[in-house]
Structure 1
Amino acid sequence: MSSEVWPGDWYDATGYATYYTAVGPAYHTGADLNLPHDLDRRAPVYAPADGVVTFSGRSSGAWGRLIVIRHDPLPDGQVVWSRMAHITSPLVREGDRVERGQQIASIGNAEGQLPFHLHFDIAVTDILERRPDHWPGNNLDLVRRHYVDPREFILRHRPPGR
């Protein structure tokens, strides 16, 4: 099923709204993307869609470095934000315009705090622009209010032929 969205051998180790205890009990806000056998170590991270970087830097807790992008409005006018976390070697800064498929960083391990993987989520409110390190923890209602399942969102909004 993951091959519909995540390319090749990529898989989501912790899906949207999954309850888990990796960094304390919480409901997950997005996807934890991995490759088998640590092959994701320092793999490129690409912008998922066109937009403007609203945050690029270190954050609190287990996030390490992260990037937030405010994406161009969808055809229906909806604006969404994406967050890529636990990264290393960011290639973009706040205010930079990015294009879908542009490399923006490499996959990291939250500066040694976690195994290598990419945390990827999509917010439908401006919570990530206001609070790039937002984490709703145990509050499933906040997860559902601010975030959407990134896999489902991509399946519904991916440009034709991609």
Structure 2
Amino acid sequence: MHLIITDARLARSRAIHLSGTRLLLAGLALSLCLMLVAATLYHWVFLKGAREGWPIVGSLVRLVVKDEFAERDRFMRANLDAMARRVGEMQARMVQLESLGERVLGLAGMAPGDIQKADARGGALVSAHNLSMEELQTTLDELERLTNQRVDLMTVLESRLFDQHIRKKMVPTHAPVTGRSAGSGFGWRLDPITGQSALHTGLDFQADTGTPILAAAGGVVVTQEYHPAYGNMIEVDHGNQLVTRYAHASRTLVKQGDIVRRGQKIAEIGTTGRSTGPHLHFEVLVQGVFQDPQKFLSAGGTTTNAQVAAAQGAAPTPGR
């Protein structure tokens, strides 16, 4: 682009050449000047007019600001309503969780008074549309507090139920021989060898040699040896001074110090030691005192022939 500037008084002219780059720079400079002028006008006219209350400018600025505030308020209100609905749903879930916790307390054998509970209870919001930001924050804080309490409660319940589960697995209620009937029960009887009255300290299970002998509960093997009377014998400690004894085995499959689980095969039936035929002599000792094994097996749902015979008044089959 060529621009020719002519001076009439001096009777001369001057030519100016503008390239594309120069035109672009000139346009940018002009745009920047216009922006600065517009910003200056806004600052000195509109803002000053709004502050000083100019009739037209002040009303126009207040209208624009009012629309902006109204739009912002509608946006915040919509978000508050959505959050309030979510808080209401969370409160309803908290009520359900509290009821569930009370039921689980019963399963764990605990009374509701065993756990310190909060006075505040969850519930649906009464008027979500009229809830302010402060009220919403207060409700959220209360929900957080209740959630922490429920977490603590569930942790205690989990510990109690796990402890009960472990204790149940450590009580000898599993039949040491499956699918086989019991012979002589616990108590006084005529000894099959001497023919004299003697205390039978356990429960006999008659079965063929080689029949699996199972651990009546989980525990640690404390004895695995040959005993003159008991023959090949295994003793399992279940904790709380509770021990089970398995005698007359033909073969033992565990050794002292082994950890056995409930129902695990630990030996095979035989007729070693003081025995008149292949069978398992099963004993339960609490603090070193012989107990009737049938009481423990009955707690696990195991009914033996000795128990049926005792109920019918028949004499049990002697084992040893």
- The answer to which of 20-29 and 100-109 deviates more is 20-29
For 1:29 and 1:13, locate their aligned partners in 2 and report how far apart those are by CA, in whole Å.
13
For 1:7 and 1:90, locate their aligned partners in 2 and report how far apart those are by CA, in whole Å.
17
* CA shift digits 1:21-65 (9 cap, x unpaired): 124332101101114xxxx2210111110000010110123x211
1:30 pairs with 183, 202, 212, which one? 202
Aligned residues: percent identity? 32
Aligned to 1:142: none
Deviation at 1:111, TM superposition (A): 5.7
1:19 pairs with 186, 189, 208, which one? 189
Deviation at 1:79, TM superposition (A): 3.5
User: Which stretches of structure 1, 4 residues or more, deviate above 4 A after TM superposition?
Assistant: none
Could you tell me which runs of 5 or more consecutive residues in structure 2 were left unpaired when the two chains were aligned: 1-174, 302-320
- More helix by proportion, 1 or 2? 2
Q: Which amino acid aligns with 1:147?
A: F
Aligned to 1:70: 237
Could you tell me which runs of 5 or more consecutive residues in structure 1 were left unpaired when the two chains were aligned: 73-77, 128-145
Q: Which amino acid aligns with 2:199?
A: Y
Task: From the CA coordinates, give the structure whose radius of gyration is larger.
Answer: 2
Aligned to 1:46: 214
**2:237 and 2:244 in contact (8 A); partners too:** yes
TM-score, reference length from structure 2:
0.36
Q: How many residues of Structure 1 are paired with residues of Structure 2 in the alignment?
A: 124
Aligned to 1:116: 278
Deviation at 1:113, TM superposition (A): 4.8
TM-score, reference length from structure 1:
0.69
- More strand by proportion, 1 or 2? 1
Q: Which amino acid aligns with 1:42?
A: G
Deviation at 1:13, TM superposition (A): 1.4
Q: Which amino acid aligns with 1:66?
A: M
State the secondary structure of the residue aligned to 2:187.
coil
Identify which of structures 1 and 2 has the higher relative contact order when contacts are C-alpha pairs closer than 8 Å and 6+ apart. Answer: 1
Matches within 5 A, 1:1-162: 7-8=178-179, 10-24=180-194, 25=196, 26-35=198-207, 40-61=208-229, 63-72=230-239, 78-110=240-272, 113-125=275-287, 127=288, 146-156=289-299, 158=300
